[in-house]
Homo-oligomer: A and B are copies of this chain.
Amino acid sequence: MSTQAMTAEQRTAPTGSETTGPVTLVNSFVVKPERDEAFHQLWTKTSEYFRRQPGFVSLRLHRAVSDDAQYRWINVANWESEADFRAAHTGEEFRAVVTAPEWGEYPSSPNLYEVVTTAG
């Protein structure tokens, strides 16, 4: 199993022109199907940090129904503002949780979005 050494910066969605309204993180993870349980445990432990940061609103963690999906797990998390989201991605505790060696197994692709259209 190869180790992907991603830095804390690479685990963080890139900055755009700063927005003022609510933002949504879409963080996609590469996970081997047989590692689902190990990933879910690690993710749950990590998410405890983010859930107690100011401005965190809600999240939904998704797992693909097909083993063929490039990104088997996707976290969609809502934050009150980009500033709150950024603040949660700084500091010693943030660095410690996202650079835990166990994370090396799961490359992630984090990006920040604004909701443009809703229906239903």
Contacts and interface: CB of A to CB of B under 8 A. Distances in A.
Total copies of this chain within the assembly: 2
B65 A19 contact: yes
B26 A74 contact: yes
A120 B56 contact: yes
Given A68-B14, A74-B26, A63 B116 contact: yes
B62 A109 contact: no
Nearest to A118: B60
A75 to B, nearest CB: 9
Given A56-B120, A64-B111, 5 more contacts: A26-B76, A40-B116, A44-B117, A58-B118, A69-B111
10 A-B pairs closest in CB distance: A58-B120, A16-B65, A62-B113, A16-B66, A61-B117, A69-B111, A14-B66, A65-B112, A63-B116, A14-B68
